[in-house]
Amino acid sequence: MEDGSRDIVAILSMLPHRFPMLLVDRVEAITPFERIRAIKAVSVNEPFFQGHFPARPVMPGVLLVEAMAQAAGILAIESLGLAGSGKLLYFMAVEEAKFRKPVEPGCLVSLEVAYLQRRSNVSKFQGYARLGDGVAAEARFTAMIADPPA
């Protein structure tokens, strides 16, 4: 995997997401048209922890899938040279999502996403959210690159 690290400024130029929905803090490595490894630093200050669950904060699994999808968005936008174009990556399907370990405040989640298939503007990805050597969540998902709504 190429170095290809990207800081938050570069991420903000590629994704339309902003707080509180931006779930990728840093890109560690990227190989265009192949794979990406990114980081989500989970803080106790995340707004979802107020209700999920106040006595035992756990990051919702659906947000782990969203974080993987955002990493895939960075991979697709970077691979296709679309940064700054306004193009968006829209979810089309999520398959075989599995949640194996709780993600709590203080965790550094490694988001690893790889292309499985690419056709025109539709791509299929395999994603993993890892805590150390273990898998916290995984999913296959399909997304398409499109213009934003008018």
Report the CATH number that the domain containing residue 63 is assigned in CATH. 3.10.129.10
pLDDT tens readout for residues 96-124: 999 999 999 999 999 999 999 999 899 99
Is 97 within the bounds of a domain? yes
CA distances to 9, 37, 60, 76, 148 from 87, in Å: 18, 22, 27, 10, 6
The total domain count for the chain is 1
Q: How many helical (H) and strand (E) elements, i.e. helices and strands, does the chain have?
A: 2, 6
The predicted structure's pLDDT at residue 2: 61
Catalytic amino acids? 52
DSSP state of 6: B
The predicted structure's pLDDT at residue 149: 87
pLDDT tens readout for residues 15-72: 999 999 999 999 999 999 999 999 999 999 999 999 999 899 999 999 999 999 999 9
Is 3 within the bounds of a domain? no
Is 95 within the bounds of a domain? yes
Domain that holds residue 51: 8-146
Is 1 within the bounds of a domain? no
Stronger pLDDT, 105 or 4, i.e. the higher one: 105
Nearest CA to 72 out of 140, 1, 133 is that of 140
